[in-house]
A = this chain, B = another copy of it.
Amino acid sequence: MLTLFQYNWQVREEWLQWCRGISASELAKERTGGMGSFRLTILHIIDVEYSWIRALMGKPDVEIDLTSYKTIDEIEDLSNKLQKENKAYLSEWLQDRENQMVYASWLNQSFTKGEIIRHIIVHEIHHIGQLSVWAREIGMKPVSANFIDRGLANE
């Protein structure tokens, strides 16, 4: 399962680099679907992953002020900072956590940790698919979504 996070983080990093090839106004420009722009969709991916992993850790959510992250450098720093915490938790993911229940206060619902971990994985891949359409719409080649050929080990 960890390999799918590694995939997501690799693809996210490639999209962040890809975004350096478009202007600040293209990055922020309002678009149809997703979270409405490249900038907000990438921030949303980072935010949602962190919120769920905080919930898995039994820690309260930390609200992220999206207006504070406008440039790719700022977004990348945030992503790297939060990923450190996420990695530390996920690297010791244990099979016996799968069926433990977690209460998601913002949804007032409980889920198993196994459900949540899959939800986080799927969430990022889905939004990345949206970026790929926007990339084509501005005449650019999107980042490859292939899982193969990334040297990702099986875990």
* Residue with the highest number of chain B CB atoms closer than 10 Å, among A119, A127, A130, A152: A130
Instruction: Let me know if B133 and A147 touch, CB within 8 A.
Output: no
Instruction: Let me know if B32 and A147 touch, CB within 8 A.
Output: no
**What distance in Å separates the Cβ of A96 from its nearest Cβ neighbour in chain B?**
11
In the complex, residue of chain B having the shortest beta-carbon distance to the beta carbon of A4: B118
In the complex, residue of chain B having the shortest beta-carbon distance to the beta carbon of A138: B32
A-side interface size class: 35 or more
**Residues 115 to 155 of chain A near chain B (Cβ within 8 Å):** 115-116, 118-119, 121-123, 125-130, 132-137, 142, 145-149, 152, 154
The complex places the Cα of A128 from the Cα of B132 at a distance, in Å, of 11
DSSP class of A's interface residues: helix, strand, loop or mixed? helix
Instruction: Let me know if B154 and A7 touch, CB within 8 A.
Output: no
What are the interface flags for A94-119 relative to B under an 8 Å C-beta threshold, 1 for contact and 0 otherwise? Answer: 00001100000000010110111011
In the complex, residue of chain B having the shortest beta-carbon distance to the beta carbon of A133: B33
The complex places the Cα of A145 from the Cα of B118 at a distance, in Å, of 12
A80 at the interface (CB under 8 A from B): no
Chain A residues within 8 Å of B, Cβ to Cβ? 3-4, 7, 32-34, 98-99, 109, 111-112, 114-116, 118-119, 121-123, 125-130, 132-137, 142, 145-149, 152, 154
